[in-house]
Amino acid sequence: MGQLRGLYPAYEPYDSGWLETGDGHSIYWELCGNPQGKPAVFIHGGPGGGIAPYHRQLFDPTQYKVMLFDQRGCGQSKPHASLDNNTTWHLVEDIERLREMAGVGQWLVFGGSWGSTLALAYAQKHPERVSEMVLRGIFTLRREELLWYYQDGASRFFPDKWQRVLSILSEEEQKDVIAAYRKRLTSPDRAVQLEAAKLWSLWEGETVTLLPTKSSASFGEDDFALAFARIENHYFTHNGFLTHDNQLLDDVPLIRHIPTVIVHGRYDMACQVKNAWDLAHRWPEAKLHIVEGAGHSFDEPGILHQLMIATDNFAK
């Protein structure tokens, strides 16, 4: 591969605010780039991760009108770390409200990791509103994917880091890590919540890149960890609020007409490359890029390169 593409220079939103959902949540949103540009929506990971300023830089600000938002309970959305009225289908309808508010008929949908899950759910619910898709680090929320990352899979590659996750659990609790953490993350004692949240969050922060990075430390910050762990565990406990285990793959025929690029790291430990392969097998029209020498994170050089090419090409 020649010279790798990087992010566009930093730029600020031209508008921002909060969307009142009517059921107890206030969703932070921002519009960035060219108000007359190609509409796009960025869907962040987690669940519970939130947006960051560098996410704007995935899109050419002269070509795109980009909506970014913090999903329920995380980032600048309120109330912080709330699990009430917080399901996949609440989020899907939040995206629709944001589209209507932005005054666009269709938009490109960009999502990575959990963002790819929510992007698929949104597109399958509202296919007429999606012009193109860019999906990264595919996660379809099948039971096998949850067990891989939070029971007996990725732990074999990171036994030292996994031991910290298990350190607060009894031998019996270790048989179902997601359930055991659910008890702690919903405890009335904030100290108990926070201890579990940091261990859960750091596990992900330290395993999403092929090689260790300093950025993983931010996963241990109190506010971020609490929202990230509580909301993520809430969704995993309820299997993403999907009707059945294979729903997002079974419903691919609803969206096969949408031009789509799929990007996945070969050595992604959070979401195995098989997830992307399974999706592409159901969706032969989509363009699959398996990136060698890369893990899960969007900013690993080879992954970022393919994402930037995808957003630039769709802008044309």
Q: Catalytic one among 44, 268, 289, 297?
A: 268
Nearest to 149 by CA among 169, 171, 178: 178
Cα 141 to Cα 161: distance, rounded to the nearest angstrom: 23
* Matching residue, tokens 């960035």: 32
CB 168 within 8 A of CB 196: yes
Question: What are the E-state strand segments in 96-218?
Answer: 107-112, 130-136
β 26-33/38-43 pair status: unpaired
Of the candidates 25, 55, 82, 113, the residue annotated as catalytic is 113
Annotated catalytic, 268? yes
Amino acid letter, 139 = F
Judge whether 296 counts as a catalytic residue.
yes
Considering 201, 296, 297, 305, which one is annotated as catalytic?
Answer: 296
Residue 218 designated active-site? no
CA-based nearest residue to 88, from 111, 118, 115: 118
Helix orientation angle between 159-166 and 190-205, rounded to the nearest 10 degrees:
170
Q: Is 63 helix (H, G, I), strand (E, B) or coil?
A: coil
Question: What gap in Å lies between CA 299 and CA 10, rounded to an integer?
Answer: 15
Catalytic residues: 113, 268, 296
